[in-house]
Amino acid sequence: SQLAEENSWALSVHEGESVTVNCSYKTSITALQWYRQKSGKGPAQLILIRSNEREKRNGRLRATLDTSSQSSSLSITATRCEDTAVYFCATDASSSWQLIFGSGTQLTVMP
């Protein structure tokens, strides 16, 4: 089974709404990263949050980390159609050189 896993396979919202993608992981980590992959492209990092951090922001994006429940969330406010993508969480759970990705959540933002 996956070391990191998003909790929803797919989400859809209308432009302007807020949305949250959740992720759970199985072992202790040094850091957790959120990536976004648009169709036909490679993933691009959005946020890196370390195990001693509880929250990190990047513009309209906010990531939280709860090490006691081994979970993280990525919230996007004021969504835009261009936010449509697959969102992955990824952890360094197995070693400091390997980034293990979850299966991803497909987010669709409708006009």
Partner 1 sequence: GGIITQTPKFLIGQEGQKLTLKCQQNFNHDTMYWYRQDSGKGLRLIYYSITENDLQKGDLSEGYDASREKKSSFSLTVTSAQKNEMAVFLCASSGGQISNERLFFGHGTKLSVL
Binding site for partner 1 (CB under 8 A): 2, 30-31, 33, 35, 40-45, 48, 50, 88, 92, 96-104
Please identify, using beta-carbon distances, which residue of 9 and 111 lies nearer to partner 1: 9
Please identify, using beta-carbon distances, which residue of 19 and 36 lies nearer to partner 1: 36
52 vs 43: CA distance, rounded Å:
25
Please identify, using beta-carbon distances, which residue of 82 and 97 lies nearer to partner 1: 97
Please identify, using beta-carbon distances, which residue of 89 and 109 lies nearer to partner 1: 89
89 vs 33: CA distance, rounded Å:
6
Q: In the complex, what is the shortest distance from the CB of residue 34 to partner 1, in angstroms, rounded to a whole number?
A: 10
SS3 label, residue 59: coil
Q: In the complex, what is the shortest distance from the CB of residue 16 to partner 1, in angstroms, rounded to a whole number?
A: 28
30 vs 50: CA distance, rounded Å:
6
Q: In the complex, what is the shortest distance from the CB of residue 45 to partner 1, in angstroms, rounded to a whole number?
A: 4
Closest CA to 34 of 9, 63, 7, 11: 63
CA end-to-end distance (rounded Å), the chain: 36
